Amino acid sequence: VSAAAEARVIAVDVGGTAIKAAVLDDGGRTSRRVEHSTPVSEGPSAVIDAVRQTARDLAGPELVAAGVVVPGSVDVATGTARYSANIGWRDVPLRDLLTADLGVPVTVEHDVRAAGLAECTLGRARGVSNCLIAVIGTGIAGLVVAGGAAQRGAVDMAGEIGHLPVYPDGETCACGQRGCLETYASAAAIRRRYRAAGGGAMDTPAIVAARDSDPRADRVWRDATEALGLALVSATMLLDPALVVLAGGLAAAGTVLLDPVREALGTRLAWRSAPPVELSPLAARAGLLGAALLAWRCVGRTDFSTWTVA
């Protein structure tokens, strides 16, 4: 593969709400960026078509690789999107489809693992050997870094903190369990619980902004941050992390999220200190940056020390 100075990669972050894509050079500079809503209601094949069209629209002669990150379960070795509850697809050979479309190497990865890679390479967790990166968006999942290595687990399911039970007899989760963290603290759960409490159909930032004047918004937000704090108690006991990073779209809420989560974690721990909890500087961009890093790694680049994420 040519290492021409003008070489570019395409990064695609397929989410349950939006398909975000960008073209980046090997210094991490973005030259083009697009965002389309994910046509989930039109069925899985419409989403696949939208992903392929988005990538083709960004392709050019300078393209050397592409990285695509998707939610749900991913077979990284074959580049197959195995299953996603949010999108409804099963066993989609994304890597083969996009390689045929673009004519360059393509990497497919789990969105949270890619976001965690960005966090460890470019963000707060750079150089930290033991940490937990909690990615809080439409759903919640995490990346566990232990002894300097991202953990995949026995069947690629390490880090599924969204399905830690935080309230044993709590609300039923879409996964079939009860009282899962994700049922209380994901952006989707916050919207759903606010509506169920009699509030309107509002997005998460609006609910956060309303909590001083609307007791329902305040209650839902307290439940979310308390649930996150409880989950981090379990994570702290299991992992003894040097750092916990809160990433994903909800991290954009800032100290409104960070302060109550730190407090919930700190007050629940009695005999050991809490690990530092920090906000990701990448927030909702982490997945896309992770996809770009994976694309560059797939053509042999390993030094990202000059990338800035300001």
- Among residue numbers 227 through 256, which ones bind Zn ion (CB under 5 A)? none
What letter does residue 165 receive in the DSSP assignment?
A: B
Cβ distance to Zn ion smaller for residue 19 or 134 = 134
Query: Which residue bears the tokens 């979310």?
Result: 224
Tokens of 52: 């392929």
Q: What minimum distance in Å lies between the beta carbon of 278 and Zn ion?
A: 26
- Please choose, out of 145-153, 173-181, 243-251, 260-268, the segment that lies near Zn ion by the rule CB under 5 A: 173-181
In whole angstroms, the minimum distance from the beta carbon of 248 to Zn ion comes to: 17
Beta carbon of residue 91, minimum distance to Zn ion (angstroms, whole number): 22
Piece of 79-87, 171-179, 202-210, 218-226 that binds Zn ion (CB under 5 A): 171-179
Of the pair 104, 228, the CB lying nearest Zn ion is at: 228
252: phi then psi, degrees, rounded to nearest 5: -65, -15
Return the residues of window 175-194 that contact Zn ion according to CB under 5 A: 175, 177, 180
Minimum distance of Zn ion from residue 247's CB (angstroms): 20
Cβ nearer to Zn ion, comparing 179 with 199: 179
Binds Zn ion by CB under 5 A, chosen from 143, 173, 187, 274: 173
Q: How far is the CB of 153 from Zn ion (least distance, A)?
A: 17
For the record, the structure tokens of 74 come out as 């991913």
**Closest CB to Zn ion among residues 185, 253:** 185
Cβ distance to Zn ion smaller for residue 113 or 163: 163
Phi-psi category of residue 82: left, alpha or beta, with phi > 0 → left and psi -120 to 50 → alpha: alpha
Question: What would the two tokens of residue 145 be?
Answer: 């870094």
Phi-psi region of 254 (alpha: psi -120 to 50; beta: other; left: phi over 0): left
Going across the sheet that includes 277-279, the strands are: 149-150, 140-146, 131-136, 243-247, 277-279
Binding footprint of Zn ion, residue count (CB under 5 A)? 5
Task: Work out how close the CB of 78 gets to Zn ion at its nearest, in angstroms, rounded to a whole number.
Answer: 27
Q: Residue 23 — φ and ψ, nearest 5°? A: -110, 125
Query: For residues 106-165, which are near Zn ion according to CB under 5 A?
Result: 163
- 244/276 Cα distance (integer angstroms): 6
Give the Cα separation of 180 and 231 in Å (integer).
9
Q: How far apart, in Å, do the first and last CA atoms of the chain sit?
A: 30
Question: Closer CB to Zn ion, residue 120 or residue 185?
Answer: 185
Using CB under 5 A, list all residues that contact Zn ion. 163, 173, 175, 177, 180
